[in-house]
Amino acid sequence: MTAVIVSLPAALDDPKAGIMAAQEAIEVTRAERVASWRGTRLEGLLWAALSIAIFSGWFVVTRFSVTRELQVWDVTALRFGVGAVLLAPAVLRRGSRLPMSAWGEGLLFALLWGAPFVLLVALGLKLTSAAQAASIAPTTMPLVAGILSFVFLKEQQGWIRWTGYAAILAGLVCLTGAVTTQAPPSPAGVTALAAAGGMWAVYTLLFRRSGLSSIQAAALICIWSAALFLPAYVLFGLSHLGRASASEIALQLFYQGVLMGAVALVTFNRAVSLLGASAATAMIALVPAAASLLAIPALGETPSFVEGIAIAVIVVGVLLAASRPSSATLSIQPQETP
């Protein structure tokens, strides 16, 4: 690139040489931008893959407890209580303190992807099943995020991504229909899960534009959720921890508090920062497929033929929806605040 710039003054006397030098500079810049995008996309896909693994297990682990001794309230308390303790230093230690405006954004994030989100998903899991919950919330989210990105952020999706969204929707309908042939779905449960997916999508779009880092946003979500939920949890005596076994509490403490309360929040936020809202949320639509595979050894549930076809359609839709954006958008890469 430097050599091209240096050669430009010498080429001013020759218009043809000047044009060729300018074209070469453009090609070099474009190649550098594409190479940078590929590296960023690979890193983003790795963060998204880790998020998918954790989210998939979360549906199985949460369903395991809310149908036994622990209640929705216990799962929420463990998730954000432990998460707040682990992540608080990221925003409270000297030199890392945030302005009041960031705390205001954090409160909004907590209302969208904090305690209310977990309560809705846990309620949906209690009223439906792990398969139904894993096929509704994670696949509703990318559809809503894609539409909102197009309408409000003017993010050009392209026909490939729209085809991917259509495939995800078709797979969702087939998958939900397949699992509901075994047990009628609870309207309240389905509504709760769909609402949770919509809240997740709105949070994703707002986080991308917030300027907060992955860890900062995760810390604010946990701190605000703990501050708002734990007092009511204690005051109204909602705890059922005394009824559960030590092994069940330990499992939920690790999965809800450490993996979901801290790790998954950071990994998903990082994926959004690197991939953009549309591609990152589309990747999360792989959760039903991963959850179905996990349910085979964990719950003894084997997907039916129709479920297998639906999952395959969702996978294809995810690959299309997470496709490369148009060349016009490559110059605008989301950057994360250190």
Residue ranges per domain, the chain?
Answer: 54-329
pLDDT string in tens for the chain (338-residue length): 544 444 545 555 556 665 665 566 555 555 555 555 566 888 988 999 999 999 999 988 888 887 788 889 999 999 999 999 999 999 998 777 899 999 999 999 999 999 999 999 989 888 877 777 887 888 888 888 888 888 887 877 788 889 988 998 888 888 777 655 555 567 888 889 999 999 999 999 999 889 899 999 999 999 999 999 999 999 999 999 999 999 999 999 999 999 998 999 999 999 888 888 777 877 887 887 788 788 778 767 677 788 778 878 888 887 788 766 554 444 434 444 33
Tokens 């090609």 label which residue?
27
Give the pLDDT of residue 250: 93
CB atoms within 10 A of CB 273: 25
Residues 78/115, Cβ–Cβ less than 8 Å: no
Q: Taking Cα atoms as reference points, which of 320, 45, 289 lies closest to residue 165? A: 320
What was the pLDDT predicted at 336?
A: 45
215, two tokens: 């860890």
Q: Which amino acid is at 22?
A: A
Which pTM was predicted? 0.79
The neighbour count for residue 31, using CB atoms within 10 Å, is: 11
Instruction: Read off the tokens for 206.
Output: 């707002």
